């Protein structure tokens, strides 16, 4: 090995370490079960591992809520729950979290390798460092991490196979990956979309020779792999219903979540997020980059499939916060490609030496991104770590220790927490799955009962609530109205409060002991988000 080869390898290792540490910093945050979906996913896995036939309702019914226990659902992420349960059995929540981080870092490494191949090590490294905060928009441990990994694998395999860098036999890995994907996260439809784009790209490249197109070995193999990917998408407990579910999930979605809102909506309502600016910068860079790449008159070399995929996900990022991470992921190789194309274009048209204009634009963008992300980085430094947020299970432990039984009235945020920490027989009023409840439940019951005391009294009579468990940092106006009403309601006694959770029990003889031992002076309560 000569000196220059050693330096290149050393530089590559240093670049990989740098981007992994940078992304790892954002990912290494303790798990807050009070607001996370993770508890329900793990419980899904435990129940299925314990007795698949008895607990099969986890797959296709609401299952956890006494209000709509038989409401039909498609538990599209059941496989990720099983894996999470196995990891928790092996090493607790920390093992689940580390598994999520490993999957996320591997996804970044795969797209970084593509970016390096499409440009050079320096451009790829700077691009990845710049876009990592966008990937880190979604740092909570969620099944969607599998989608990030499978998206990265699909584009890495397809680009290299269609360019002749890998044997066509790699295509047969895609149906296997799709089989895993369809049983772990709802974004499995992107597997079909991505391979379809690459098949279409090959057809476009062969436009003048349509009569010979089906004699092309690459196209025939791509078409066969596409068919197998579609077939694999049917191999779930739900069949065709599972395949169609991603296109139907919002037909019954009665509760609006911040993660599903557009940048326009969130900015209008005053939400401050430095990644909004990063999405705008990314969109601008992609538009300018496409124009420059087109002007270079090398259209036959443009990665048309990846351009289409990136454009789709960036548009989706504008429309929903939850799409920031996959958009940032696929944009890393795309931005690296465009900066490389811009530098090449500048060398040919303006200067034979270093492309100063391109380098200058890149430096300015990096400085802007650095200073907009700096406050967020400084805020996160003191709260880095692994495992559960300290004391996060204390509210559930209080209920178990004092044998506080239901029926439970709880708010949306804390449903997954109760499902995880309490015994299965302690069913919840609601949990954080809008698709698992009729839309009318949220619009006619859940929200009105917190805003209107008459509706509250009606639901109290119907369900005979014995305990209220509430994440009192719920900033929705109906939650704050409800909590303020309970402060003045002598029928309910506060018995537990920590930085996140309030527990009230009904003032009835069965609760006399816990009220006597743990009642809180309601004048000490400070309601407000």
Q: Which domain holds residue 444?
A: 394-524
Based on the domain organization, do 369 and 483 belong to the same domain? no
Based on the domain organization, do 247 and 175 belong to the same domain? yes
In a domain, 35, yes or no: no
The pLDDT value recorded for residue 315 is 96
* Beta partners for residue 496, in sequence order: 503
And the tokens for 394? 């204390």
The pLDDT value recorded for residue 7 is 46
**Cα 27 from Cα 37, distance rounded (Å):** 16
Query: Hey, how many other C-beta atoms are within 10 angstroms of the C-beta on 31?
Result: 22
Based on the domain organization, do 506 and 366 belong to the same domain? no
CATH number at residue 492: 3.40.50
Window from 127-136, 182-191, 344-353 with minimum mean pLDDT: 344-353
CB 50 within 8 A of CB 424: no
pLDDT greater than 70 at residue 153 = yes
Based on the domain organization, do 159 and 282 belong to the same domain? yes
And the tokens for 493? 């006694």
The pLDDT value recorded for residue 211 is 64
Q: How many domains does the chain have?
A: 2
**Cα 176 from Cα 217, distance rounded (Å):** 21
Q: Is the pTM of this model over 0.85?
A: yes
CB 255 within 8 A of CB 205: no
In a domain, 109, yes or no: yes
Based on the domain organization, do 147 and 262 belong to the same domain? yes
The pLDDT value recorded for residue 299 is 46
Which is nearest to 410 in space by CA: 312, 482, 330?
482
Based on the domain organization, do 368 and 416 belong to the same domain? no
Which of 350, 381, 412 is the endpoint of a domain?
381
pLDDT greater than 80 at residue 228 = yes
In a domain, 47, yes or no: no
In a domain, 52, yes or no: no
In a domain, 55, yes or no: no
Phi, psi of 24 (to 5 degrees): -60, -35
Based on the domain organization, do 82 and 155 belong to the same domain? yes
Residue 503's pLDDT band, with cuts at 50, 70 and 90, is: very high
The pLDDT value recorded for residue 119 is 84
Based on the domain organization, do 188 and 148 belong to the same domain? yes
Based on the domain organization, do 443 and 348 belong to the same domain? no
Distance set, CA 204 to CA 160, 301, 305, 424, 517 (Å): 18, 12, 10, 55, 75
Based on the domain organization, do 346 and 399 belong to the same domain? no
Based on the domain organization, do 293 and 402 belong to the same domain? no
More confident residue, 249 or 306: 306
Mean pLDDT value of segment 23-35: 90
CB 37 within 8 A of CB 150: no
pLDDT greater than 50 at residue 19 = yes
Mean pLDDT value of segment 137-149: 92
pLDDT greater than 80 at residue 404 = yes
Provide long-range contacts, Cβ within 8 A and 24+ apart, for 225-229. Answer: 225/171, 225/172, 225/174, 225/175, 225/195, 226/192, 226/195, 226/196, 226/199, 228/172, 228/174, 228/175, 228/178, 229/174, 229/175, 229/178, 229/191, 229/192, 229/195
Q: What is the pLDDT of residues 378-390, one digit of tens each?
A: 777 777 788 888 8
Mind giving me the DSSP string for 175-223? HHHHHHHHTT-GGGHHHHHHHHHHHHHHHHHTGGGGGGGGG-HHHHHHH
pLDDT greater than 90 at residue 445 = yes
And the tokens for 491? 């029928």
Q: What is the pLDDT of residues 208-221, one digit of tens each?
A: 666 666 677 778 88
Based on the domain organization, do 511 and 418 belong to the same domain? yes
The pLDDT value recorded for residue 521 is 82
**Cα 16 from Cα 111, distance rounded (Å):** 12
């Amino acid at each position: 090995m000569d000196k220059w080869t050693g330096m290149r390898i050393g530089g590559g290792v240093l670049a990989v370490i740098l981007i992994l540490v940078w992304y790892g910093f954002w990912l290494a945050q303790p798990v807050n079960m009070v607001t996370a979906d993770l508890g329900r996913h793990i419980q899904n896995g435990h129940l299925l591992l314990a007795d698949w036939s008895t607990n099969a309702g986890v797959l296709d019914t609401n299952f956890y809520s006494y209000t709509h226990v038989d409401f039909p659902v498609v538990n599209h992420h059941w496989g990720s729950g099983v894996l999470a349960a196995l990891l928790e059995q092996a090493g607790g929540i920390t093992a689940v979290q580390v598994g999520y981080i490993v999957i996320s870092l591997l996804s970044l490494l795969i797209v970084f390798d593509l970016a390096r191949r499409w440009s050079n090590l320096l451009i790829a490294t700077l691009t990845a460092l710049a876009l990592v905060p966008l990937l880190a928009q979604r740092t909570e441990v969620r099944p969607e991490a599998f989608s990030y990994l499978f998206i990265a694998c699909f584009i890495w395999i397809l680009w290299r196979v269609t360019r002749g860098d890998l044997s066509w036999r790699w295509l047969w890995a895609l149906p296997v990956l799709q089989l895993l994907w369809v049983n772990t996260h709802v974004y499995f439809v992107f597997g079909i979309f991505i391979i379809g784009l690459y098949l279409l790209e090959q057809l476009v490249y062969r436009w003048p020779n349509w009569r010979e197109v089906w004699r092309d070995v690459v196209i025939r193999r791509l078409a066969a792999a596409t068919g197998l990917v579609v077939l694999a998408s049917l191999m779930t407990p739900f069949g065709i219903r599972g395949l169609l579910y991603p296109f139907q999930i919002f037909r019954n979605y009665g509760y609006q979540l911040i993660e599903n809102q557009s940048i326009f909506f969130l900015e209008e309502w005053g939400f401050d997020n430095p990644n909004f600016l990063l999405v705008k910068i990314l969109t601008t860079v992609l538009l300018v980059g496409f124009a420059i790449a087109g002007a270079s008159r090398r259209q036959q070399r443009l990665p048309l499939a990846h351009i289409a995929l990136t454009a789709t996900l960036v548009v989706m990022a504008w429309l929903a916060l939850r799409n920031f991470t996959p958009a940032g992921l696929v944009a890393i190789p795309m931005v690296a490609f465009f900066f490389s194309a811009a530098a090449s274009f500048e060398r040919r048209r303006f200067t034979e030496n270093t492309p100063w204009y391109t380098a200058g634009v890149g430096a300015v963008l990096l400085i802007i991104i650095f200073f907009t992300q700096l406050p967020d980085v400084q805020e996160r430094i003191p709260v880095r770590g692994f495992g559960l947020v300290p004391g996060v299970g204390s509210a559930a432990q209080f209920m178990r220790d004092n044998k506080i039984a239901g029926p439970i009235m709880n708010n949306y945020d804390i449903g997954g927490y109760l499902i995880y920490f309490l015994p299965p027989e302690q069913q919840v009023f609601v949990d954080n799955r809008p698709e698992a409840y009729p839309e009318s439940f949220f619009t006619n019951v859940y929200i009105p009962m917190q805003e209107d005391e008459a509706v509250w009294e009606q639901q109290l009579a119907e369900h005979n609530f014995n305990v209220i468990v509430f994440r009192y940092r719920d900033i929705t106006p109906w939650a704050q109205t409800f909590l303020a009403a309970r402060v003045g309601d002598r029928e309910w006694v506060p018995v537990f409060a920590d930085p996140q959770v309030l527990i009230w029990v009904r003032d009835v003889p069965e609760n006399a002991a816990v009220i006597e031992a743990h009642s809180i002076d309601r004048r000490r309560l400070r309601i407000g988000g």
